[in-house]
């Protein structure tokens, strides 16, 4: 029960890493709002986990973000943790061939959502003198793969934003960290690879020294530590959960 008494929002919690983090937080005693564009998916995780509140939200939309935070306050009486997990990518392509619509979507979901969440939640955290933000980044922001240029760049932005947020917010008792997972066996994997074939999986796996994709459980374990009081002296860290890919 390492998060007993904590109140958390996890975005993109209907599948993949977000679902794994939400399930673990619930198991460790937290109250969790599971936000996802796919409300049915979030509701399925709630039913499976036996707890939590499902909420439909487009985190790239300011009104949805404000409603999400207001809902958590209403349901739980406040917020202690925000996990910015929702993310998307464009299909592999040469950088000049990625269309503007896909670029805008990657920027809005991966980057603007963090700004929108902070704009509303940071004043609340400042008033209570405490709070934790965890941004889910990617090894793509540290060791870019070809033909994923604008996704790589968005995750590099997340890493820099995490450190900038951490140093500015530390005097107010607010911690900000990030996780950098390697490719995981989640719904986004096919988008990263372009096609989900045994050959393409083998190509990706060959770049990971530990020889496997990351899992929602791997991310949940790391997120649990960084969002718990055990990490009270840890801020501005972009932790690699990547099986050695970035070595």
Q: Which range has the worst mean pLDDT, 17-26, 200-209, 213-222?
A: 200-209
Mean pLDDT of 36-61: 98
DSSP state of 230: G
Task: Give the active site residue among 76, 151, 192, 213.
Answer: 151
Could you count the other beta carbons within 10 Å of the beta carbon of residue 4?
9
Could you count the other beta carbons within 10 Å of the beta carbon of residue 168?
12
The string of pLDDT tens digits covering residues 158-171 is 999 999 999 999 99
Residue 160: both structure tokens together: 């820099």
Say how far apart CA 115 and CA 77 lie, in whole Å. Answer: 23
| Of 76, 110, 92, nearest in space to 178 by CA | 110
Say how far apart CA 41 and CA 218 lie, in whole Å. Answer: 21
Mean pLDDT of 95-122: 98
Instruction: Check whether 30 has a pLDDT greater than 90.
Output: yes
In order of 14, 69, 70, 159, the CA distances from 78 in angstroms are: 22, 9, 9, 27
User: Which uninterrupted H or E stretch holds 54?
Assistant: strand 53-56
Using only the alpha carbons of the chain, give its radius of gyration: 17
pLDDT value at residue 185: 74
**Domains delineated in the chain:** 7-231 (3.40.50.720)
Examine the residue annotation and report whether 151 is marked as an active-site residue of this protein.
Answer: yes
The pLDDT-based confidence of 230 (bands split at 50, 70, 90) is: very high
| Of 24, 52, 31, nearest in space to 221 by CA | 24
The pLDDT-based confidence of 201 (bands split at 50, 70, 90) is: confident
Say how far apart CA 82 and CA 174 lie, in whole Å. Answer: 11
The alpha carbon dihedral of 69, 161, 60, 140 has a sign of: negative
Say how far apart CA 205 and CA 210 lie, in whole Å. Answer: 9
Residue 231: both structure tokens together: 């990490």
């Amino acid at each position: 029960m390492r998060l007993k008494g904590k109140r958390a929002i996890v975005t993109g919690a209907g599948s993949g890493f977000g679902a794994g983090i939400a399930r673990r937080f619930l198991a460790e005693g937290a109250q969790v709002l599971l936000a996802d564009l796919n409300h049915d998916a979030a509701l399925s995780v709630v039913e499976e986990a036996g707890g939590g509140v499902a909420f439909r939200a487009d985190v790239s939309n300011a009104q949805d973000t404000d409603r999400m935070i207001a809902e958590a306050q209403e349901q739980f009486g406040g917020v202690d943790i925000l996990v910015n997990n929702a993310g998307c990518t464009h299909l592999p392509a040469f950088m000049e061939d990625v269309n503007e619509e896909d670029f805008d979507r990657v920027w809005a979901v991966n980057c603007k959502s963090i700004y929108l969440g902070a704009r509303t939640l940071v004043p609340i955290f400042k008033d209570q003198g405490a709070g934790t933000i965890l941004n889910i980044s990617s090894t793509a922001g540290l060791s870019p793969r070809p033909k994923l240029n604008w996704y790589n760049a968005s995750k590099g932005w997340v890493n820099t934003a995490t450190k900038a947020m951490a140093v500015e917010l530390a005097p107010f008792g607010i911690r900000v960290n990030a996780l950098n997972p390697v490719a995981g066996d989640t719904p986004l994997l096919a988008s990263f690879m372009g096609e989900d074939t045994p050959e393409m999986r083998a190509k990706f796996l060959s770049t990971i020294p530990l020889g496997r994709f990351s899992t929602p459980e791997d991310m949940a374990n790391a997120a649990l530590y960084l969002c718990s009081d055990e990490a009270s002296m840890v801020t501005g860290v972009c932790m690699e959960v990547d099986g050695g890919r970035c070595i």
